[in-house]
Chain A
């Protein structure tokens, strides 16, 4: 039934009644634009929350805290560490693929360096933890690895003599130095974002490209502090930045687990090398997360990053509410389309009667009007999509130029995926078609003689 003749007829009808259809399209354009804009915004925020801020494929498990506030102090009455047996139990939970223990550095540390970037050396108290390098093997490859087995005893007087991953420790001493490996460290994107978004402004420092930080070397004195000194002499190590990862401690640096264990045992006693302050659970799928969380809580432990779930839920609620605004606009527009089509079929009553007199079936008339409505929906929908994308681009441009940097500020706040655009366009077309159905059925309901006579 669909052919060039039909296409011409539909197109001619649309042009003939363009004022009516243009008026009817306004609601669809606004509805589609609002729905697309808010959904794209919501999807992007959700993506930021779940992928960058709260990755949901890993859960961090820690002992359940049982804090009691007593005047200025908070007493921790709960278990404060996980031992090897707990890790074994965690690994046996259905849906858990792997367990990666994390160990906090239990002695103070001072970090110093950064001359090449900041112009002068910085020294700061710093906290550190250690993670299993396997946890970040996928994202960083072999750059972040245990170096305990690589302790060389090669004498040296310059760093260049020791090879790429080593430096000459004690090169300036009278007896000469020994080659020692750099300890690879990770920092969290929080640290970079915090620096670029706030810290650098306060100190008038340059903005840093995270990629340029790779390979940055600095020294750490473990057991040293400006507040309180360790009874044991501090251990100085040279660190080298191996990557930026959300698996790293949010504020501080993350070392290979074996290095932290070594340092804790050396400076805080042997037992501190067997106590893990948390563990990262790699779950098989997001769908298995609820069951894993229940099992973990049944063990008397708690999942720390529930923020992801809360954030995702809050985002979903906001997104649904905003999307509902768009959907309501489209529904109202569909009602408007219905009224316009009632008007159009009334104006075209004799014409429709004639079409039936020359052989059009009721279905043909329905098809003709529905095709016109679909075309209106398609054109209005595309204008609406273009409006939404243009508004998104304008909002991004405004945010880039006027909104100060903040942690995780994205280049674009919108995720205009082809699937989203196609879905909203389909909704617009369907809404117009549904709106046009009652007038279409009404128009072809009587006999042609009534329509031709104007009865």
Chain B
């Protein structure tokens, strides 16, 4: 449900204290991500990186997960995004338990429902920016399969949205770090995902460029109807989130504490 659809129902609005923007009220939201007792230990490790996490994130939320390096932020995003399937507990996305998904279903989830933005961008240097943005179209199925002209147009639109209008033919190796992250963001948005997972999206960027990326995310959240979860230790990103979750040694801590 798009936030704008609530405007005709003033009672359904609250003033969000963190972002000072009009947000849909809780009554119109629904849980889109739910974690119950999630534990994760990497092979060979002595301790769990996630220690029985419980979490509910509603649709249209902008949640910042903050914590030190090694606190489990990336692992948490990987579990939510279906990139990591080895864990204990229950992870639900859009009401469905990921553990019940086969390879085909979890791939469809990654293709349609979840968009990933990585700290290291993970762009393919042998492809153009346009091809990088539209790479998810190679694996689209059903109604998401589109012809080449549509795919090209969509990629150009998204590049324009992230401020790289006309740069579709360039190779990632010719771009600055900020531009690469914009391309990565455009790639994550290709299939209009319901959930956008950003893992340290400004981690490799300077302050000014990071601010631009945060601005883009905020604008996307304001104008779109997607749930954004950003893992960061960047105060600026944390502040952009409507909800801040502190992750410390695999557990959620006091959300009122500042960013470490």
Contact = CB atoms under 8 A, between A and B. Distances in A.
A12 B139 contact: no
Interface in B201-247: none
Nearest to B188: A358
Interface string B118-147: 100010101100010001111110000000
A447 B103 contact: no
Contacts of B86: 447
Interface string A345-368: 000001101111111111110000
Given A358-B110, A358-B136, A362-B103, A4 B84 contact: no
A449 interface: yes
Contact of A9 (B108, B118, B138): B138
A361 B148 contact: no
6 contacts: A16-B126, A355-B135, A358-B136, A359-B136, A447-B83, A450-B84
Given A356-B110, A360-B139, A452 B83 contact: yes
A99 to B, nearest CB: 70
Contacts of A350: 122
Contact of B140 (A13, A359, A448, A452): A359
Given A9-B138, A364-B139, A359 B83 contact: no
B148 A359 contact: no
Contact of B107 (A5, A360, A450): A360
Nearest to A348: B124
Contacts of B140: 359
Contact of A354 (B84, B85, B122): B122
Interface in A10-64: 12-13, 16
Interface of B is mostly: helix
A361 B103 CA distance: 6
B107 A6 contact: no
Nearest to B77: A449
A358 B197 CA distance: 12
Contact of A452 (B75, B103, B118, B137): B118
Contact of B139 (A8, A359, A449, A450): A359
Nearest to B109: A359
Given A359-B108, A360-B138, A360-B139, A354 B124 contact: yes
Contacts of A357: 81, 83, 110, 116, 122
A449 B103 contact: no
A358 B83 contact: no
Nearest to A5: B138
A361 B126 contact: no
Contacts of B103: 361-363
Interface string A301-329: 00000000000000000000000000000
A361 B140 CA distance: 10
B187 interface: yes
Nearest to B123: A354
Contacts of B192: none
Nearest to B108: A359
Contacts of B187: 358
A9 B140 CA distance: 15
A447 B82 CA distance: 9
B100 interface: no
Contacts of A364: 107, 138-139
B126 A5 contact: no
B121 to A, nearest CB: 10
Given A16-B126, A359-B112, A452-B122, A447 B85 contact: yes
A354 to B, nearest CB: 5
A335 B170 CA distance: 38
Nearest to B84: A449
Query: Across chains A and B, which 4 residue pairs bring their CB atoms closest together, nearest first?
Result: A359-B111, A359-B139, A449-B83, A449-B84
A130 B111 CA distance: 84
Nearest to A454: B120
Interface in B183-202: 187, 190
Contacts of A8: 131
A12 B75 CA distance: 32
Interface in A346-394: 350-351, 353-364
A376 B103 CA distance: 28
Contact of A448 (B75, B83, B124): B83
Contacts of B81: 357
Contacts of A12: 126-127
Contacts of A358: 110-111, 116, 135-136, 139, 187, 190
Contacts of B126: 12-13, 16
B71 interface: no
Nearest to B191: A359
Nearest to B43: A455
A353 B86 CA distance: 16
Nearest to B184: A354
A365 to B, nearest CB: 10
Interface in B147-197: 148, 151, 187, 190
Contacts of A452: 83, 118, 122
Contacts of A447: 78, 83-86
B30 to A, nearest CB: 24
Given A5-B138, A12-B126, 4 more contacts: A358-B110, A358-B111, A358-B139, A361-B103
Nearest to A17: B126
B107 to A, nearest CB: 4
Given A359-B112, A452-B83, A5 B137 contact: yes
B158 to A, nearest CB: 14
B104 interface: yes
Nearest to B148: A4
A8 B104 CA distance: 23
B148 A5 contact: yes
Contacts of B148: 4-5
B107 A356 contact: yes
B254 to A, nearest CB: 28
Nearest to A360: B139
A356 to B, nearest CB: 7
B45 to A, nearest CB: 12
Contacts of B131: 8
B80 to A, nearest CB: 11
Contact of A449 (B78, B135, B190): B78
A359 B122 contact: no
Interface string B72-100: 00010010010111100000000000000
Q: Which of A13, A358, A360, A448 has the most CB of B within 10 A?
A: A358
Interface in A148-183: none
